[in-house]
Amino acid sequence: MRKILVGLLVLVVVGVASAGAVGHQQPELPKLEINEDNFEEVKERILSEIEMKISKLQTLKEKVESANSADELKSIMEEQALERAKEMSLKQIERAIERLEKDNNTDAVSKLESLKEEVSQATSMEELREVMENVREILEDSGVHPHKPIAGLRPNGEV
């Protein structure tokens, strides 16, 4: 039983890592200037983000610790992978919106804004992939060709 659980955990962790790596881009450094005037505000914002990440990890740890079966653990890890993919997808959409706003492409921006809600409500990786394929189509129709895969999609659009 222990070998099965270890094997399953390895598969889930690899799956989570690969799902995150598929559309992963290097995180951008914060675009802010830290000086004496805004030091406390920036410090509080950074600490708040760290606390939020710690809280999410603590919740995940508690869920993993309370898992009573391989299926339950697998479900927890799949849920975690989906949440991570949704976060990455929302960030990609935000970056696309920023780019399209610079080009004054309000039609594409409004379409992408409406897809953000669909990303948030996705209940499976397949649903998320379908929404992100719509994002890809909107970008391509706008003359923007993503040079990196969109979360969960290979460059040719395959799942």
Tokens, residue 96: 């696309």
Q: pLDDT tens digits, residue range 104-148?
A: 999 999 999 999 999 999 999 999 999 999 999 999 998 887 655
Helical (H) or strand (E) element with 99? helix 70-102
What is residue 155's DSSP assignment? T
Residue 145: the pLDDT is 72
The answer to whether the pTM exceeds 0.85 is no
How far apart CA 96 and CA 115 sit, in angstroms, is 12
CA dist 138 → 42, 124, 130, 143 (Å): 35, 22, 13, 9
